Amino acid sequence: MDGPTFLMLTDKTNAAAICHRMIGYDFPWEINRALELAVLRTFCVPRISQLLHNTGEFVHRPQKRYDDTSLILGNIMKWGYDSPRGEAAIAQMNRIHQRYAIHNQDFLYVLSVLIYEPVRWNQRFGWRPFTSVEKQALFNFWRVVGERMAIEDIPATYKAFQAFNQAYEAEHFCYHPSNQVIGNAVVNLMQSWFPAIMTPLIPWGVKAVVDEPMRQALGWSQPPQILTQAICWSLRKMRQTLRWLPRRRQSAFKVDEPNQTYPVEYDIGQLGPAHTASERPATRCPFARMQSLLGSRHQSS
C-alpha cells in the first residue's frame, strides 16, 4: 500500500488522524474547493433543488448557511468525531434535522460526495494525488460520521460506496429550472467573496471546472473550450508548484478563521437555522441534514 504507511488504517483513530493531516496541512485548499463543488453537485438532483427554490431559504441567507456549514463540518474535521467539539457538532446536526423526514438513499448520496468529490478534485488539481491510504481514511472517517447520524445501509467498502455514488448520479441527475436557480445562487455567493473587478470571471471559472453532467443538470452553457483548458491548466500548474515548497507547519482549518457571520466567536449549539413553532417535520431535503446551509422547511409529498 502506497503513502504514509506509518499510519496504518487498523482502527478509526488512525483514519481521523490521517484526515486531520490531509484537511489541515496537506490539502486544505483542495478539499475546501472540492466541498464547495460538492454543494453544487447535490443541486443537480431536482428533489433537492425544488425544496430550496420553494422555501427561498438559501437565496435569502446564503452566507450564514455557508458559514454555519463550514463551522459544523470544520469542527468535525479538525477535532475528530470522538472529541468534545466534534461530538457537539454531530449532535447539533442531529438536533437540527431530527424533525425532518428524509430519504435514506439521499442521505447516503450526500455522505458520499464528501468522500469522492475531494478525490475527484484532487486527481485533477491537487499538488499530488491522494494515496490509497488517504482515500481509505476519507471513507472510514465519513462512514463513522454517517453512522453517528443514524444513516442506514452505508456500503462497507470504498469501492462499493463509490459505485453507489456513480449509480445515484446516473439515475437522479437531470435538468430542472430549480437546479439552475439554486446553482446560480451559489455562484452569486462566490462572486461576493471577490473584488468587483473579478466577479464577472467567477461564473466562467465555476463552469469550467464542473463536469458535463453537472452543466447539463444545472442548465449552464459550456464555456469556450480554449477558456476551459486555460483555467484548468492554470489551476493544475498553480497547485503543482507546491510540490517543491516546504510542507505547511501551521494548520489551515477553516474553523480557525473568522467569517462574515461570526467575526469574533460562535456557539456550536446555536449554529444552523432557527426552529420555529410553525415548522412541520416533513422536509425531504437530504443536503439539509448534512449541511445546515440548506436547513429549510418543506411539506412532504
CB 57 within 8 A of CB 295: yes
Phi, psi (rounded to 5 degrees) for 24: -90, -25
| 47 neighbors 284 (Cβ within 8 angstroms) | yes
Beta carbons within 10 angstroms of residue 276's beta carbon: 7
pLDDT of residue 66: 86
Write down the pLDDT at residue 245.
77
Residue 295, Cβ neighbours under 10 Å: how many?
A: 27
Find where cell 467573496 sits.
Answer: 193
Q: Is 6 left (phi over 0), alpha (psi -120 to 50) or beta?
A: alpha
- Residue 124: CB partners within 8 Å, gap ≥ 6? 209, 232, 235, 236
**3-state secondary structure string across the chain:** CCCCCCCCCCCHHHHHHHHHHHHHHHCHHHHHHHHHHHHHHHCCCHHHHHHHHHHCHHHHCHHHHHHHHHHHHHHHHHHCCCCHHHHHHHHHHHHHHCCCCCCHHHHHHHHHHHHHHHHHHHHHHCCCCCCHHHHHHHHHHHHHHHHHCCCCCCCCCHHHHHHHHHHHHHHHCCCCHHHHHHHHHHHHHHHCCCCHHHHHHHHHHHHHHCCHHHHHHHCCCCCCHHHHHHHHHHHHHHHHHHHHCCCCCCCCCHHHCCCCCCCCCCCHHHCCCCCCCCCCCCCCCHHHHHCHHHCCCCCCC
Q: What stretches in the chain show pLDDT beneath 70?
A: 1-13, 52, 54-57, 99-101, 274-301
Q: pLDDT tens, 210-251?
A: 999 999 999 999 999 999 999 999 988 888 787 777 778 888
pLDDT, position 278: 38
Q: Which of 212, 169, 208, 207 is nearest to 187 (CA)?
A: 207
Q: How far is CA 89 from CA 4, 104, 110, in A?
A: 29, 21, 17
Which percentage of the chain shows pLDDT scores above 70? 83
Q: Which pLDDT score is estimated for 106?
A: 83
- Cα angle value 153/96/114 (rounded, 5°): 45
**How far is residue 141's CA from residue 135's CA, in Å, rounded to a whole number?**
10
Model confidence pLDDT, tens digit, residues 112-155: 999 999 999 999 999 999 999 999 999 999 999 999 999 999 99
Q: What is the pTM of this model?
A: 0.84
